[in-house]
Amino acid sequence: METKQENIIRTEYAEEMQKSYIDYAMSVIISRALPDVRDGLKPVQRRTLYDMYELGIRYDRPYRKCARIVGDTMGKYHPHGDSSIHEALVVMAQDFKKGRTLVDGHGNFGSIEGDGAAAMRYTEARLEKLTWDVFLGDLDKDVVDFVPNFDETEKEPSVLPVRIPNLLVNGADGIAVGMATSIPPHNLGEVVDAVKAYMKDNGISVRGLMRYLKGPDFPTGGIVVNKDELLDIYESGTGKIRIRGKVEVEKGKGGRQLLVITQIPYTMLGANIGKFLNDVAALVETRKTTDIVDISNQSSKEGIRIVLEVKKDADIEALTNLLYKKTRLEDTFGVNMLAVADGRPETLNLRQIIEHHVDFLFEITTRKYQTLLGREQEKREIQEGLIAACDVIDLIIEILRGSKSREQAKECLVNGVTEGIRFKTKTSERAASKLRFTEKQAVAILEMRLYRLIGLEIDALMAEHRQTLENIARYEQILNNYDTMAQALTTELDAIKKEYSTPRKTAIENATEIVLEEKQEEEMLVWFLMDRFGYMKIVDQAAFERNQEAALEEYRVVFSCMNSDRIGLFTDTGKMHVIRVKDIPMVRFRDKGVPADNVSNYESASEKILLVAPMEQLLTQTLLFVTRQGMCKQVAGAEFETTSRRTIASTKLAEDDRLIFVGSVDEMEQLVLQTESGVFIRFLLKEVSSMKKTAVGVRGIKLSKGDLVDQAYLLAAHSDYVVTVGEKPLSLMKIRLSGRDGKGTKPRL
């Protein structure tokens, strides 16, 4: 019995991992995430468009189911799952994402507000006319190389013969391994003008190109407000473009004014529109502005229309500036013009992108005219053969009638072989022996139909021959002269611009940085209320006085503070969350308020609130901390002074330990600890050391195995406190006073 030989490769683990990771990274970069600078397409987009071309789903033919397109693309060219193909197909059909859509979608292809497209079994699509003419029009002229698909059963183009810099027109975005690309869309007409300018002067600078290409042109419109920074961005290929939405003022009912947002920043697409509406509502809730009365989203298929109804006497300019500063109505678009050039990822500036495209344009145009020239030369050869045949048509008919086979007749036409052919006269045989047609001419003569011998048909053949000669001369002139080819390309680009260019949507200007002077609120005394569920709110002095009794009965925490104060919220995880009073909504007494989670980093699912107090008060007190494992310490309130507006660590906890008590020790003398098993210990508070907040503390009680501290009580001098143990009352003063770190006792009830 034969045994299999194991093929064991010995190598350094680190080297193998490095090589494998680099291979994977390059595969993602080249084969998935980044577009090619030549056609501006990622592989999935290129394969989807080519598959639609193969299926013949033209702009002037019926739509086909997206599921058919996706399935065919996945089966033939792109074996990476249907969701990525469908997503690419959807994005190419969304006019709010692309400068020019490449796919004409029929059905629900999503909305600008972030609604997803319908499933591919419901929607249909076909190619746009632009795609058919400009992206795929020359595929039949051998202008690009075809490579085997993933299983080598089909051929696919390595790049599409796109005649405009699609990388600029439609932009690109993608995340690879260790790198990402983000290129804004541009106006097709301006891009074409920049390409023509480069062809006229190869030494043109980025500044020179920007006389034609002004900057990005987003499908959502908006206003680019850092015009002076665009030159640096396009020279380096990286930078940040600042975009603002377009705001118009209209008259509303009752003399009120309407702020109408008709264009939004490109970065606000999708769910960010809903976030913008929430941010505006938050500005009203937190009293950043009191001018906004109502907000409504009236957007439709006709376009964006977000309406803010404002008060009669509102300062429109100040309110608009507030929206730009505090919401995403002004945002930045990060530019990183990274693309695959010559087979490797490279960050390119504007001139380099156009240079790569023009080089590609000359390459595909050269191959196109070489193919056309070859076809015309082949046509000329056949036409010359047919014209010559018409002159000796009687002899050819005699050869055909005297031949025994097609091959015999063909041999006579090509090489003048007359053996075996019956001729009427020796003169005819001698004439036949002098015939020297080419192989292609002989085949054309043998297949020629008799109607071609009509006089008019012969005239048409002669005219066609003259046209062929003119075409050959023109093609040779284009191929042999750079200026002539450039002129031919310019003519094509002009035709594309005339048919497909649209007016610019995005305005480009310089705008001053918005400096927002926040109105200082008048300081006033307010009351903080928090219920047992952690919902908190602020009410004014008058509302509290009217409902004082109900407030003290219904709410877990009640205290007064200034509206400019901060509040400290201590939890059992050893954190102190800092909340600004102004971040808590001031509401009517019976309104619910907001959960602590909404105004701080507090997480109700994993934390328990132990103490809530004004920071001004906390800073002057001494706080006692007690943990479940019996650790105690006193900490001066000044330790909790912080400039942070969110969260700090209030204490250090041992592993698996939690706080069970945080409270002020002012005017308190004794501490009582109660364990889960019912053990109590009472000792003087002065035995608990004062420490830094970063200390763990000292042990207050020696716990039995499995026991934990459950409660802590502070007692003032000559005071008593009664607790319930096993449904029976227990006076804490009856517990024997002992020293700290004892075992404690179980009281008799």
- pLDDT at position 386, please? 85
pLDDT at residue 1 in the model = 47
Q: Which two tokens stand for residue 342?
A: 């010559």
Residue-wise pLDDT tens digits, 639-687: 888 876 688 889 999 888 999 999 999 888 999 999 999 999 999 999 9
What is the reported pLDDT for 8?
75
Structural element, H or E, at residue 183: strand 180-183
104 strand-pairing partners: 126
Could you tell me which of 490, 500, 407, 456 has the C-alpha nearest to residue 195?
490
Cα 290 to chain centroid distance, Å, stands at: 34
Each residue's pLDDT tens digit, 329-387 = 999 999 999 999 988 889 999 999 999 999 999 999 999 999 999 999 998 988 888 88
Whether 515 shows a pLDDT value over 70: the answer reads no
Q: Which residue has the tokens 């300081």?
A: 523
Could you tell me the CATH superfamily of domain 41-161?
Answer: Topoisomerase II, domain 5 (3.90.199.10)
Average pLDDT over residues 594-599: 87
In order of 610, 631, 684, 701, 740, the CA distances from 709 in angstroms are 15, 9, 18, 9, 14
Identify the CATH number of the domain defined by range 622-634+657-749.
2.120.10.90
- Which member of 122, 212, 369, 555 is catalytic? 122
Check residue 132 and report its DSSP letter.
Answer: I
Q: Helix crossing, 350-391 with 482-500: angle to 10°?
A: 110
Q: How far is CA 696 from CA 626, 660, 676, 710, in A?
A: 10, 14, 22, 18
Which strands form 575-580's sheet, in the order they lie side by side?
A: 609-614, 566-571, 575-580, 647-649
Is 77 a residue of the active site? no
Mean pLDDT across the stretch 379-397? 86
For the chain, the structural domain boundaries read: 41-161, 246-328, 356-500, 521-618, 622-634+657-749
CATH of 356-500, one of 1.10.268.10, 3.30.500.10, 3.30.1360.170, 3.20.20.140: 1.10.268.10
**Count of CB atoms within 10 A of residue 120's CB?**
23
What pTM value is reported for the model? 0.71
Residues 6+ apart with CB under 8 A from 145: 157, 158, 159
For the 246-328 domain, the top CATH level (class) is alpha beta
Encode pLDDT of 82-109 as tens digits.
999 999 999 999 999 998 999 999 999 9
Mean of per-residue pLDDT scores for the chain: 88
Tell me the pLDDT tens digit for each residue of 412-432: 888 888 888 888 888 888 888
> Which residue(s) pair with 538 in the sheet?
528, 586
β-sheet bridge partners, residue 670: 684, 715
